[in-house]
Chain A
């Protein structure tokens, strides 16, 4: 448990701000891919950090803080799904020209665009498992715990996601 976390738990909002800055990128990336929508992702990210502030007292350091925040993100996302039902997502990912040169060009902006787009278009359950497993690196057991689905379901959804993505990207 780092000093920053301890101070934030004690109510030090500057310490919490520092934790925010350190983790917002990773939390937001997860929220963005779960929600498939920039507006929702920004709202979700805020929700996560507000919940984190509220429940930081119960964080015991058994997992890394980043993982704990990811769990909050998944919970928050599942909560929004239950609350608002299906909302149409319109997501397009696009590569911006030339700001950063990529040496090697093994993955061109076009590929990333196709892939992010295809991920956003997956059915919710498959997308959630795919993002958590193949992008964020969680195992099925952890995913089951975070999401409340059975690990068999997680394995099935991963298979479905990968198959649908392959088909979409051909």
Chain B
């Protein structure tokens, strides 16, 4: 492919309309032609807003406990074996905090995956820890919230706690029930989300 041909086909390449042979030729040309690379860069340079995207995004839940378990299990084994896909949560919403101050909510609505009982306990431990932290933060923020607002928050928390208790009890009676496991996780997620919102109210100026 000549430089002229490349520039003529650039739009089509971008849209994925070139046949495999032409696409391969397009790519191969760029391997060694800095002039064409510069031309493409001039027409479609870096996007300005990309610099504002965060390069560090903490996962919603602490992954360390699960990693530690697997690391401990693998000690002494020389071959790496792929772990089973482990569902962090069948819940529909995860919160991810970006250090730049914008929180991204990623929504997935595919089918919930079955979860082993051991994984539920691990998940519960994680959510419980986060919940405790947020409850502590909310206590500290209490003085900045009106009594009516605190009453509203506490009322909502009671509804969630009641639901959480019920699903946990059902799970205790039927521990192999994957749907119940998912519901327990969902209830925890709702609790953490409410606590996060409540704490935010108390810390915003």
Contacts and interface: CB of A to CB of B under 8 A. Distances in A.
A touches B in complex, CB < 8 A = yes
Interface of A: 11, 13, 16-17, 20-21, 24-26, 28-29, 32, 37-39, 41-43, 45-47, 49-51, 53-55, 88, 90-96, 98-102, 106-107, 109, 111-113, 115-116, 123, 134-136, 150-153, 155-156, 159-160, 162-166, 169
B173 interface: no
Decide if the interface of chain B is mainly helix, strand, loop or mixed. mixed
Interface in B64-97: 64, 66-68, 70-72, 74-75, 80, 82-83, 85-89, 94-96
Given A20-B67, A28-B58, A47-B83, A160 B13 contact: yes
A166 to B, nearest CB: 7
Contact of B63 (A11, A24, A39): A24
Contact of A16 (B10, B57, B60, B71): B71
Contact of B67 (A49, A116, A152): A49
A25 B56 contact: yes
Contact of B80 (A28, A50, A93, A101): A50
A95 B71 contact: no
Nearest to B56: A25
A91 B80 contact: no
A28 B101 contact: no
A13 B26 CA distance: 48
Contacts of B89: 39
A150 B104 CA distance: 33
B50 A94 contact: no
A20 B89 CA distance: 21
Contacts of B31: 150-152, 155
A35 B16 CA distance: 20
Contact of A166 (B26, B44, B52, B61): B44
A101 B57 CA distance: 18
Contacts, number: 187
Given A26-B56, A47-B83, A13 B71 contact: yes
Contacts of B68: 13, 17
Contact of B27 (A45, A50, A135, A152): A152
B88 A54 contact: no
Given A95-B103, A163-B11, A166-B44, 6 more contacts: A32-B106, A92-B105, A94-B104, A152-B27, A159-B41, A162-B45
B105 A94 contact: yes
Contacts of B100: 102, 112
B143 interface: no
Nearest to A23: B56
Given A25-B56, A150-B27, A164 B83 contact: no
B59 A24 contact: yes
Contact of A46 (B44, B58, B83, B108): B83
A116 B108 contact: no
Interface in B97-125: 98-110
Contact of A135 (B50, B67, B95, B105): B50
18 contacts: A20-B67, A24-B59, A25-B99, A42-B59, A46-B70, A50-B83, A54-B80, A92-B107, A94-B103, A95-B103, A96-B102, A98-B200, A102-B100, A112-B52, A115-B49, A134-B47, A135-B53, A153-B27
A123 B23 CA distance: 15
Interface string B132-175: 00000000000000000000000000000000000000000000
Chain B CB within 10 Å — which of A25, A26, A98 has the most?
A: A25
